[in-house]
Structures are given as structure tokens and as C-alpha cells.
Amino acid sequence: MSKDSHIDRDLDLSNANRGVWLVKVPKYVAERWEKAPSDMEVGKLKITKPQGQKAQVSLTLSSAILNLNEPGQESIPKDHRLDVSTVTQQTLGVFSHVIPTNTDAVVPETEKLYMEGKIVQKLECRPYADNCYMKLKLESIRKASLPTRQVKQLDRVVQSYKPVSDHKNNIEYMERKKAEGKKARDDKDSVLEMLFAAFEKHQYYNIKDLVKITKQPITYLKEILKEVCNYNLKNPHKNMWELKPEYRHYKQEPAESEIKKDESDDD
């Protein structure tokens, strides 16, 4: 993230002390409110305060909201009660973010941030268990029980999007693996000759390189290697094979003393 991506903005706190309710409504109510136009009355809130009791809050949806149902859709309950609970040991706030629409002005407006208030109460909107609500609940249970996948009988041949039992790359890979598994085992002496010739060039080999050199099955090759080679388990040649000392016949350069002796004889 670049340094210029974060921009400090002023936060309007003029409504910071205003009390706000946080209301949780059923999904069917939220869906109807989202469909409603901005100028439509969505419902009425009624607060009654019986003497010596807690305040009782109820919500009645408007007729316009109730009539927004689609064809074949179940009707939703009209009356709801709101269970009130206070907010304790928690500070919650409501914020709004206003993005300017006129960006071509001489002095362009900046984005504005507002604190709309502090949440003082939580309310949960619950419907009354009447016949309307029970029908709605029964319909939701029926839809939830429907399988997501269904079997359909085709009345014609489908040419596109046919399932492939195996992909081309997988088939080629399996054929290659089978060909490698069917490698003919050479005579043990000929394999040893190839190994000794390879170890004359380098002292250490890993198993993959030896398989490429000898072209033998890996299990058969390991049997022979265990007889004439040692497997290194420590660094610096970890997981590498080398000939056992009794099989090593590396070409050694003549010693310096012998070279000097030959020079003196020539003199």
C-alpha cells in the first residue's frame, strides 16, 4: 500500500450524544424493506409504558409493504413485538459515509463522515405465532428440505459439456508410469559395470540420476546399490549414494615425491 492511499478526514460528531436503537428484524421483513421505494411508509412503531413495567414496543407493517409480495409467495405477518435489551459493557456507534456526487465543481466536495449516534438499546423483532406466521414457517421448511441437485431425464442428445472420464495429461502420465514400471531388468553384472563407470566420473549420485543412467527399475537398482554402495544420511552429501571403500578405484594423481624422483632420473 502506498503512503498516499490513506487520507485523513474529519468526523462530524454533532450527533455523538444521540441515543440510537439497534433493531434485528426477520429476513422476510428486511427483504420487503429493501424492495420498497424511498418514499414509501414501511411501518409504524408503537411504544407503550405501563405503570411499574418495562416499556413495550410493537411494530405494525404498512399495507404497502404487505402488498409487495410476488405471485405465489406466502403472505408475511403484519404485527410484531420487539424485545428490548440494554447495552452493557460495550460501546457501539452508528456512522454514515457520504460520497460527493458533483466531482466536476471548481472546488470539489470531499467525502464526509458522520457519527449518527451511540447505540443505547438492542431490540429483536419477533412475529406473533398466528396462522400467517405458521404458514410462512412451513413454507420455509419445505423449501429448505428440497434437494439442491435433481435428476432430469434428457429428451435429446446433449453435445456440449460432456463429462470427461479422464483428462489427456493424466492418461499420458499413467502410460509413462506404466512404461517405466515395465522396464526390463538387465543382467546384474552389466548394471554393476554401468554403476562403476558412472562412479569413476563422480563420487556421489542421487537415486534419480542413477535410474536415468542405468534405465533400471528403481526397486531392482536399490537392491544392487545396497550391495556395493553406502547411503549417506548426513550432510554435506545427504540422500546421496557412494561406492563402498572396497569398490573404489578412483584414478589418483602420482605423488609429488615420485614426480621428483622421475625428474632426477632424467637428469
- For 153-171, what is each residue's pLDDT tens digit? 888 877 766 667 777 888 8
Tell me what pLDDT residue 183 has: 64
Cα distances (angstroms) measured from residue 76 to each of 30, 127, 133, 136, 237:
12, 9, 7, 7, 76
Please give the pLDDT value at position 59.
93
pLDDT digits (tens, 9 = 90+) for 122-142: 999 999 988 988 998 898 898
* Cα separations in angstroms, 190 against 54, 186, 224: 98, 7, 11
Would you call 71 exposed, middle or buried from its count of C-beta atoms within 10 A (0-12, 13-18, 19+)? exposed
- Each residue's pLDDT tens digit, 231-257: 999 888 899 999 998 888 655 544 444
pLDDT of residue 181: 58
Average of pLDDT values for 84-92? Answer: 84
Average pLDDT of the residues of the chain: 82
Which is it for strands 112-127 and 19-24: parallel, antiparallel or unpaired? parallel
Q: How far apart are CA 125 and CA 139, in angstroms?
A: 20
Write down the pTM of the prediction. 0.46
pLDDT on residue 215: 85
Q: What is the pLDDT of residue 259?
A: 46
Closest CA to 112 of 95, 129, 135: 95
- C-alpha to C-alpha distances, 175 to 178, 180, 222, nearest whole angstrom: 5, 9, 23
